[in-house]
Amino acid sequence: MTGPNTKKVVLVTGGSGFVGAHCIVQLLQQGYKVRTTLRSMNKKNEVLDMLRVGGIALTDNLEFIETDLMKDLNWDKAMENCDYVLHVASPIFLRAPKHEDEMIRPAMEGTLRVLKAARDAGVKRVVMTSNFGAVGYSHTDTTKIITEECWTDPNEKGLSAYNKSKVMAERAAWDFIKKEGGALELSVVNPMGIFGPSLSPVLSSGFELLKKVLDGSLKRIPNITLGIVDVRDVADLHLRAMIHPEANGQRFLALAGGILSLPEIALLLKKKRPAIAKYASTRRLPDGLVKVAAWFNPVAKSIVPMLSRYRNASNEKARQVLGWQPRSNEEAIIASAESLVRFGAIKI
């Protein structure tokens, strides 16, 4: 592919992830040269398989480099001649941390490692993937819509170590840019619950929740509300934030608009994809029963903080500043359900 972007080089950290792989697909489709970091080169063929699912047949403009967010090794090589960086990767934990610092410190240190290497290499702009947990989890005035002006208090009661790590890492990023960033520019994307088509049988947390609804594991559905965004639109927003002049120094909430509850999602799929949702329950589980179950059930305990979470947020900034036009909640959910079937997680 040739075009105006063929000489531009973009580094995508964490190319084997759900969002990272979709970013690579869109960058290659638009003619960029792409370099992506992997913690192990053993993941290379997995990424190539994902790209094929995403419609990328030729990968001549793609290269891989082995790096780790927690080590200095190879970050200078990863950044060499790069115009832009999409910092999508997060430190991976195979077990729940005994202490929140086990998750927070790597997130902050990894982010700063990427920013320092980008600054030193003369990169123009870094687009960092944060999340809604860094924006709206301390919002108490339910008469007002959540916007990018809002920040989550990292000391908020009940805040998960993951969300705390996200807000602390994003704060550290903005602080670095202000004090040490030099000419380096920064934009941040803050997605809500990411759904849409998977490129891999390795499923993200949102898919696991949806799978439990569809396969009948949840006999009664807790009244969790979700803000939703399609992964293809998250990738598109990263690319827009990467090149748009007005995106410098800005954060952008990524959501389709409005919210859906888990019972509403079950009803939607029973109506739109009855073969996939034939085992899904539509019986609601009262909040009080979830709270009682939380005393002895770790799954219920993890759900309790989600029951009363206010998620009415605005995507107006991304629409107005960047011309972003996301897909609907329904389209994202249906694409996720179809991916569960495609990769054999749900049998029909």
Catalytically annotated residues: 164
Collapsing DSSP states into helix, strand and coil, what is residue 260? strand
Token digits of residue 284: 């609601």
What is residue 284's DSSP assignment? E
Distance CA 284, CA 312 (A): 22
Helical spans, DSSP H, in the chain: 18-29, 44-53, 75-79, 101-121, 161-180, 205-214, 231-243, 262-272, 287-293, 298-307, 316-322, 329-342
- Which residues touch 71 (CB under 8 Å, ≥6 apart)? none
**Would you say 204 and 268 are in contact if contact means Cβ atoms under 8 Å apart?**
no
Token digits of residue 345: 């997680």
**Would you say 32 and 59 are in contact if contact means Cβ atoms under 8 Å apart?**
no
What is residue 224's DSSP assignment? -
CA 223, 224, 229, 232 torsion-angle sign: negative
Q: Tokens 């913690």 belong to which residue?
A: 39
